[in-house]
Amino acid sequence: MLKKLIYIFLALNISIFLASQTKLKNPFIDNSDDAMLRELFTANIGIMKFKKMGRLQLINPLDVQNVENAIKNVLDKIPAVKMTKKGAVLKSIDVYTKKIGATYLSHKEKAEYLQRKFFFNETLDQNLIYELFLEFRSHKDYTYIAKRWYENIENPSYSLNITAPFDRSVLNNEEICLENNLDFLISGEIEKIDKLYYINFYVYSNQLKIKILDKAFVSNSENISRNTEKEFSLILSKVFLINYASLAINTDDEETRIFFDSDYVGRKNVFIDFIIPGKYVLTLKKENFSDRAENISLFDHEKKEININIEETEALQVVNFDIEPYGTKIFINSVYQDKTPFKKALPLGNYVISAKNDLYESYRYLLNIGEVKEDEKNIVFHLKTRDIKNYFKVKKTVYYVSFWNFTFSLATMVPITVFAYDQWNRLDGAIRAQRGILNTDYGKKLELTYNILYGMAWATAVYSGLSLIWLFVSLADYIKVLEKKDFIPILEFYKNNEPDKENDSGVKVGANIRF
């Protein structure tokens, strides 16, 4: 028992570690909103459960599951893969023929003819690829993506669609791929001798119809997930034709946000694995500091580590938010800041300020800070009051509606529950009195009636529970509003002294802004 708990603990730790690593996006596919183009440039990968070899009673099923999950965890971190030129073209034809089906017979016959020519042609003449491009362009559903396909097929970047490990099958590899719509099939065998596991896994390409990799390694039970992840990561460049790089970014500042090519990847210390080699822009952002951008170049199999921090502070202008009534909530660019009065230092720029208070009309305006001055910038004004009586009436009406809704729910739940209980007694008595009565018409009617009443009883019980929650929430809201009733005489006094009551919905104390 203790050994199993240790295995589970290790598996959870590894899952948490893998989850903390960032997966980047595939820009070619992510920037395209065309579903058909996505399907052409998506590699479907399946993991078939490993075959147990040797003395099966020695093999812990949890260890086998950890091997399969470790392979999937590695695949989940990969942003994109590539195929051989031949595999890429055959993948495109395969998707094309499945899409057009039997509706366009002439197109399908032409595609299958090209598929045979491509499969048995080792050199892949460019004229054949152009012939396939013309075939795509001649089909009405593929006309508008044919050019983009032809431009990228020479060096395509494929997003991944990874299935969860599925049960083993007696079919051959090609049939398994056809049944599950797979481009790559990953599987293998696992055997235990003494205290060591002998693990062998292979990768099968459905386009090329061959095993493109066969790998074996040895591991103990305690480190089986970690070793599987390590060994599988080593062969990824051979399988998917990309020499992935990795990048560790250390900032030692929990408030610094890290962006990798506009993708937010985390704070403080971040590790990004399986990056396609190339040039990227690393950007650090921190409130009240100037953004810092760095150009990053990553090469094949490079494991780069950089230490970088934001050091240059921005010039800040102190802004005094003295908005009445005090306690008004202030939002800057839709982000809640504080309740008035308070001060905040802001960098240069334009800001949308929103002031919100339950008893007053909300107010929004644009604040521009063009230069920084030693003197504070003051924002002083008073919100207009709402029509308080209507505000109270709405809250009161909601509470009354919730009360009568709860009353109605009880009035329906109680009798239906009683009828359901009575029907259950009848059905139970009939079953005891006559064995096999459920096979008769009368018995079936009794059972059907009971099932209907039983379902209605549960539905009304849930309805009553939700109604009770609504009742308490509306009551709490109504009581909270009643606590503010002391404001009414004051507000009514100002309202009655307004010169023009028709054009005024509240107290005009003023909405003057002084900067």
pLDDT of residue 75: 87
Percent of residues, the chain, with pLDDT higher than 90? 4
pLDDT of 13 reads 45
The pair of three-digit structure tokens given for residue 227, joined into one six-digit string: 């070793």
Which of the two residues, 261 and 482, has the higher pLDDT score? 261
| Whether the Cβ atoms of residue 142 and residue 104 lie closer than 8 Å to each other | no
Q: What is the mean pLDDT of residues 247-263?
A: 85
8-state DSSP, 111: H
Average pLDDT rounded to a whole number, residues 423-428: 82
How many angstroms separate the CA atoms of 222 and 227, rounded? Answer: 10
Residue 489's pLDDT is 42
In whole angstroms, give the CA distance from residue 256 to residue 266: 9
Q: How far is CA 414 from CA 33, 402, 404, 457, 463, in A?
A: 53, 18, 15, 8, 12
| Residue 496 reports pLDDT greater than 50 | no
Q: What mean pLDDT comes out for the span 464-490?
A: 74
pLDDT mean over 401-409: 90
- If pLDDT is split at 50, 70 and 90, which confidence band does 498 have? very low
The model's confidence at residue 331, banded by pLDDT at 50, 70 and 90, is: very high
Indicate the range of 53-67, 95-109, 430-444, 450-464 predicted with least confidence: 95-109
Is 397 a residue whose pLDDT tops 60?
Answer: yes
- Better-scored residue on pLDDT, 491 or 316: 316
If you average pLDDT over each of 22-31, 258-267, 452-461, 490-499, which comes out highest? Answer: 452-461
Token pair, residue 146, equals 């044919």
pLDDT (mean) for 37-66: 86
State pLDDT tens for residues 164-194.
888 888 888 888 988 888 989 999 899 988 8
Given a cut of 80, whether residue 161 has pLDDT beyond it is: yes
Mean of pLDDT values over 491-495: 43
What average pLDDT does the segment 106-130 reach? Answer: 67
Give the domain 316-382 fold.
Answer: Immunoglobulin-like (2.60.40)
Confidence of residue 312 (pLDDT cuts 50, 70, 90): confident
Q: Which two tokens stand for residue 475?
A: 């009551």
Decide if 281 contacts 296 (C-beta within 8 A): yes
Dihedral pair phi/psi, residue 420, rounded to 5°: -65, -40
**CA-to-CA distance for 355 and 345, rounded, in angstroms?**
18
Task: Say what the pLDDT of residue 507 is.
Answer: 35
Average pLDDT (118-140) is 71
pLDDT exceeds cutoff 50 at 491: no
Tell me if residue 109 falls in helix, strand or coil: helix
The pLDDT mean for the chain works out to: 78
**Taking 60 as the threshold, does the pLDDT of residue 282 lie above it?**
yes
Q: Tell me the pLDDT band of 506, cut-offs 50, 70 and 90.
A: very low
The CA distance from 158 to 82, in Å, is 6
Q: Which residue has the tokens 């040039």?
A: 279
Q: Read off the pLDDT of each residue in 450-456 and give the average, rounded to a whole number.
A: 87
Q: Which of 219, 242, 243, 245 is nearest to 230 (CA)?
A: 219
Please report which confidence band the pLDDT of residue 488 belongs to, taking 50, 70 and 90 as the band edges.
Answer: very low
pLDDT in tens, 201-219: 889 988 888 888 888 999 9
Predicted pLDDT of residue 214 = 87
Amino acid at 378: N
Beta strands in 268-341 (DSSP E): 270-275, 278-285, 292-298, 303-307, 316-324, 329-332, 335-339
- Please determine, for residue 515, whether its predicted confidence score (pLDDT) is greater than 60: no
CA–CA gap between residue 269 and residue 312 (Å, rounded) = 20
- Cα 72 to Cα 14: distance, rounded to the nearest angstrom: 13
User: How crowded is residue 192: how many other Cβ atoms within 10 Å of its Cβ?
Assistant: 21
- Give the span between the Cα atoms of 67 and 71, in whole angstroms: 6
Range with lowest mean pLDDT among 65-74, 92-101, 317-326, 425-434: 92-101
Could you give the CA distance from residue 93 to residue 39 in angstroms, rounded to a whole number?
A: 12
Q: Residues with Cβ < 8 Å from 424, sequence gap 6 or more?
A: 450, 454
pLDDT in tens, 355-385: 988 777 888 888 888 888 878 888 888 887 7
| 308 token code pair | 């970088």
The whole-model pTM stands at 0.54
Question: What is the predicted pLDDT for the residue at 485?
Answer: 55
